[in-house]
Amino acid sequence: MSILVLDVSVGLALKETCVSIEVGPHGQLQSIHTSSPKSLTGIRLTLVRAKCSIVASWPEGALSGAPYVRDLIVAVAGPRTGGILQGGNVLIKDARWQDSADVVIVGYGGAGAVAAITAHDLGAEVLLVEKQPKDHHVTNTSMSAGAFICPTDPERVARHVEALYQVDGDLAWTDRDTIRAWAEYSGQNKAWVEALGAKLTLRAVGGEHREVPGGESIERWHFAGSGLGMHRFLTSHVTQRGIRVLFDTPADKLITDLNGEVAGVRVKTVPDGRCMNIQARRAVIMTTGGFEFDEAMKLNYLRVYPTYFYGTAANTGDGHRMVMELGADLWHMNCCAARLVAKFPDFPLAFTMDCSGRDYALGDPASGKAPGAGRKAAGYVVVDRDGRRFTSENFKSHSLYYELTLYDSQTLRYPRVPCTWVFGQDRMDAGPLSMVLAGPAGPAGPVQLYHWSHDNSAELERGWIIRAGSVHELAEKTGLPPENLAETLERYHAYCRAGNDTEFGRRPADLAPICGPPYYAVHLFPGGPNTQGGPRRNHRAQVLRVDGSAIPRLYAAGEFGSIYGMLYPAGGANLAECIAFGRIAAENAVREAPLA
């Protein structure tokens, strides 16, 4: 096995002392430089070829608790790693810990809460680390519909998802073992939350892709009080168990020991910015969510830019950067279970819109009743930048995103970004344009980060809604070609009169004319609740390196490296994964033997 040192500068962070060790091309010590007048004789660095690890030793008392060997990059050619070991996070043997627990969980959302409850109930001491303050703890779970799926036949649903994710030959979005672990544990979701006292309502049966066999075995269950109700339910159980939570404490680095095992987490306390090292005696579980609010990551990883999200603004890819430092492999980075959302320049989050005015989200989330369900749908169309319809408005809510990613190389633009939602006075009169009570209601939902006016007057005043006295004026105000928009509406109204959309097959019950003037419009963009990509994990929830080996004592759950590939199986799948893999990660983390 050959070892080549690429970066020959190794720095040991000392208190009041700066030390640099230079190593030759074959690992031999060449020189030591120190800013301290004190001699640090006896320091030696050895490259141990058999274990592919780095061992540093020093005189007793020479170091004063600084825990990192800095900036060492070693490329190792051999079957054990097959790649690059990145330093800068290696634990020195006399490191001082400021806190500790058996299992440290980074990120306190739905998956983090489930993992904490599970690990605690298995006898582990658990510590949750959360970057948000306690009085503004907003999670993707709290902004969701509060729905999760529960397969009635896990074997059949596993085959359904395998079919969705099989590409060609051995190439698949997600491996078979991980899918089957997900199906098995998801099939226990309802029983698990009910054992904790949850009150649930069955809302739907069947997956989103009914043309693929097996989806009919998927049930979708809802928590009382929507996503905020689910969030409060889970956090109440964390509180009841006395599980410690460090709020206002963002994590920025994973700490490993000299054998490459994850031994803890470095965090920074807010507002003083003080660094603190937290030891994880058994394992670290990462549940930090996605990268919805990191613009550079979205630009580089997602299929279209801009893509906007209505989940928590705390999801900025912190966890991704932490695990990438350890050589974690990534998967599903360009996957996104998304649709069309509204995004306005003077508000940071996107909004999910109720286009027809009779969506179930306008109903009572506790009873499941939808006052709009018996009401005739308001007329509307969605058009591209050329003023033309391009799909049925009865779109699949978690797959429409991919239709929006079309790029026109002749005009150098995305012709469907933004789209424009065109509607009439009947939709304005039907209630808030945004979902407000249930469903994936986002900031205007139960979390009430924004209070959408019932008659839409406030949003009209803010300029979020465009109003015009004619189709031609609306086209001019929205930047659409007037002739194209007029032709589109004329053709659409012909389909309404005939009761048949021969172009895109929109349901006859939804073919309602657009009542105007006046006419209204809102620009819509690709977006949704969350990204899916992150570190690749296996069926045990272990985070994997690029060679497929597990990073010791490091686990992941939830939307942080979701198991879902391009196609999302059904509404509620994200929260189902939070419950399933939160439990899987915790069970395996607790089984780890404590570090010496």
Is pLDDT of 17 > 60?
no
Please tell me the predicted confidence (pLDDT) of residue 315. Answer: 98
94 contacts: CB under 8 Å, gap ≥ 6? 63, 65
Q: How confident is the model at residue 438 (pLDDT cuts 50, 70, 90)?
A: low
CA distances from 506 to 87, 211, 380 (A): 56, 17, 12
* Cβ proximity of 575 and 581 under 8 Å: no
Task: Kindly write down the DSSP assignment for every residue of 530-587, as one continuous string.
Answer: ----EE-B-TT-EEEBTTSPEEEEEEE-TTTT-S--SS--STTHHHHHHHHHHHHHHH
Is pLDDT of 439 > 70?
no
Q: How far apart are CA 76 and CA 84, in angstroms?
A: 6
Burial string for 210-233 (b: 16+ CB within 10 Å, else e) reads eebebbebbbbbbbbbbbbbbbeb
Q: Which comes out higher in pLDDT, residue 455 or 28?
A: 455
- The answer, as to whether pTM is greater than 0.75, is yes
Mean pLDDT of 379-394: 97
CA within 13 Å, CB half, 41: 1
Residue 179 tokens read as 């899918």
* Cβ proximity of 245 and 108 under 8 Å: yes
Please tell me the predicted confidence (pLDDT) of residue 27. Answer: 43
Are β-strands 534-535 and 126-129 bridged in parallel, bridged antiparallel, or unpaired? unpaired
Is pLDDT of 424 > 90?
yes
Mean pLDDT across the chain, nearest whole number? 85
Residues of the chain with CATH 3.50.50.60: 101-336+530-591
Residues of the chain with CATH 3.90.700.10: 339-528
* Cβ proximity of 573 and 182 under 8 Å: no
Q: How far apart are CA 575 and CA 113, in angstroms?
A: 12
pLDDT tens-digit profile of 75-133? 222 223 322 233 345 544 445 799 999 999 999 999 999 999 999 999 999 999 999 99
Q: How confident is the model at residue 13 (pLDDT cuts 50, 70, 90)?
A: very low
Is pLDDT of 177 > 50?
yes
Please tell me the predicted confidence (pLDDT) of residue 367. Answer: 35
Is pLDDT of 394 > 60?
yes
Mean pLDDT of 5-15: 32
CA distances from 551 to 5, 47, 259, 328, 482 (A): 22, 20, 11, 8, 58
Please tell me the predicted confidence (pLDDT) of residue 89. Answer: 53
Mean pLDDT of 338-342: 96
Please tell me the predicted confidence (pLDDT) of residue 366. Answer: 34
Q: How confident is the model at residue 272 (pLDDT cuts 50, 70, 90)?
A: confident
Task: Kindly write down the DSSP assignment for every residue of 50-97, as one continuous string.
Answer: TTTEEEEE--TTSS-S--EEES-EEEEESTTTSSEEE-SSEEPTT---
Mean pLDDT of 237-260: 96
Residue 23 tokens read as 């190593």
Q: How confident is the model at residue 270 (pLDDT cuts 50, 70, 90)?
A: confident
Mean pLDDT is lowest, of 44-58, 365-379, 551-565, for: 44-58
Is pLDDT of 242 > 60?
yes
Please tell me the predicted confidence (pLDDT) of residue 304. Answer: 97
pLDDT tens-digit profile of 473-498? 999 999 999 999 999 999 999 999 99
Mean pLDDT of 135-159: 95
Closest Cα partner for 429 from 520, 523, 525?
520
Is pLDDT of 500 > 90?
yes
Q: How many CB atoms lie within 10 A of CB 163?
A: 14
Q: Does domain 101-336+530-591 have CATH number 3.30.420.10?
A: no
What percent of the chain is predicted at pLDDT more than 70?
Answer: 81
Please tell me the predicted confidence (pLDDT) of residue 258. Answer: 85
Q: How far apart are CA 500 and CA 1, in angstroms?
A: 70
Is pLDDT of 12 > 60?
no
Mean pLDDT is lowest, of 56-70, 409-423, 576-590, for: 56-70
Is pLDDT of 72 > 90?
no
Please tell me the predicted confidence (pLDDT) of residue 131. Answer: 97
Residue 534 tokens read as 């992150």
What is residue 505's DSSP assignment?
A: -
* Cβ proximity of 179 and 580 under 8 Å: no
Task: Kindly write down the DSSP assignment for every residue of 21-39, as one continuous string.
Answer: EEE-TTS-EEEEEESSSS-
Please tell me the predicted confidence (pLDDT) of residue 374. Answer: 55
Instruction: Classify 172 as helix, strand or coil.
Output: strand
Q: How many CB atoms lie within 10 A of CB 56?
A: 18
Q: Does domain 339-528 have CATH number 3.90.700.10?
A: yes
Instruction: Classify 414 as helix, strand or coil.
Output: coil
Is pLDDT of 458 > 50?
yes
Please tell me the predicted confidence (pLDDT) of residue 95. Answer: 56
Residue 420 tokens read as 């424009």
Is pLDDT of 184 > 50?
yes
464 contacts: CB under 8 Å, gap ≥ 6? 342, 344, 522
Please tell me the predicted confidence (pLDDT) of residue 437. Answer: 75
Task: Kindly write down the DSSP assignment for every residue of 512-533, as one continuous string.
Answer: -----SSEEEEEEEEEES----
Q: What is the 3-state secondary structure (H, E, C) of 118-162?
A: HHHHCCCCEEEECCCCHHHCCCCCCCCCCEEEEECCHHHHHHHHH
Mean pLDDT of 315-327: 97
